[in-house]
Chains A and B, each alone.
Chain A
Amino acid sequence: MSKLIRMDHTGHSTLAEWTSDDPAAVEAAVRAFRAELDRGYLGMVSTGPGHAEQVRELPVDAPLVILRLPISGG
């Protein structure tokens, strides 16, 4: 079961859960992912120890996709 989560003021919110063999769930996850990207969130997946990658399309096979806000110099 893959998950799309958004880091927010609640700690994090699970926006979608899907398996690759469930087209309806995948479609709902893709819609939720695009909606958050439109809001300004950035999609991230872990790609190994100490590595992460920004994704612009929902990677359906990734077990965990995290949405983060942009950063800036403080």
Chain B
Amino acid sequence: MASEAPAAAPAVDVLPETAGVHWRPRVDDARLRRVGMLWTLTTAAHVVPFLGAATLLMWLNPLALPVALACVAHAWVIPELYARRGANVLRPRARAGDEPERRSVGLLGDLVDHDARELHAATGLVLEPGRLGTWLVGEGGAMLLAGRRVYCWCVRVDTRVKAEKALPSGDRIAHLLLALRADEQGFATVANLSFAGARWRLRRRVGPEMRPAIRAAEGLHDDTRSTAPS
């Protein structure tokens, strides 16, 4: 983490960007659990009818096997598509030139500790413990491990200011990281939730190069949960 901290104590500051989404309730632990539960119910609402239809068809007439299999395939594909959408927030974006990339990664390195720097070099993701859970920050969003669920948030840097050109990868992550550190709940409020669900669903959908970061986040998160006072 940054070593050049001024003496001032950390202050709770509300992200100014939350004013742009004033209709959204501020995300906290309870809201996160509710949203996660809603996603689980939605997934069940997609899966159960298809599985039920497949079972019914087979019970009515075994010759309906092809249609029943199509129903099972739908029940499998729909949650997988949601998980894929979640995994996309961690996907790397287009690279800038070599020099901007090098400079941006150097600045990002100044904001995180040695372990996080190494993990970023290997996976392109930055591990950040938070109050809501354990975060993995990428170029196009962030993943949050909270409880037994994973939440994927899609966030972008608003480069419309003076038509600012596209940012290099390290700067995109540094923007999100600083906003997250300033106001974690505000960050989750501004971001668009693209997936919430079981960890295994997401793990299968991220690229192999990013899986060490997922494992590191799960390890840190599970350690934190097991040592947290009940």
Contacts and interface: CB of A to CB of B under 8 A. Distances in A.
B178 A39 contact: no
Contact of A46 (B4, B9, B17, B113): B4
A73 interface: yes
B167 interface: yes
A47 B6 contact: yes
Given A7-B104, A73-B190, A40 B175 contact: no
Interface string A31-74: 00000000111101111111111100001011110101111111
Nearest to A48: B5
Interface residues of A, number: 35
Contacts, number: 150
B156 A70 contact: no
A50 B224 CA distance: 16
A51 B102 CA distance: 24
Interface stretch (B34-42, B53-61, B157-165): B157-165
Interface in B65-124: 89, 96, 99-104, 106-107, 110-111, 113
A9 B165 contact: yes
B191 A11 contact: no
A74 B6 contact: no
Given A11-B171, A73-B192, A5 B107 contact: yes
30 contacts: A7-B107, A9-B165, A11-B107, A12-B107, A44-B178, A46-B2, A46-B6, A47-B6, A51-B10, A51-B181, A52-B178, A52-B182, A53-B8, A53-B13, A54-B13, A54-B16, A68-B179, A69-B159, A69-B164, A70-B158, A71-B17, A71-B155, A71-B176, A71-B191, A72-B17, A73-B156, A73-B191, A74-B140, A74-B155, A74-B192
Given A47-B6, A71-B175, 10 more contacts: A12-B107, A40-B161, A41-B161, A47-B9, A47-B11, A48-B1, A49-B1, A54-B16, A66-B178, A74-B89
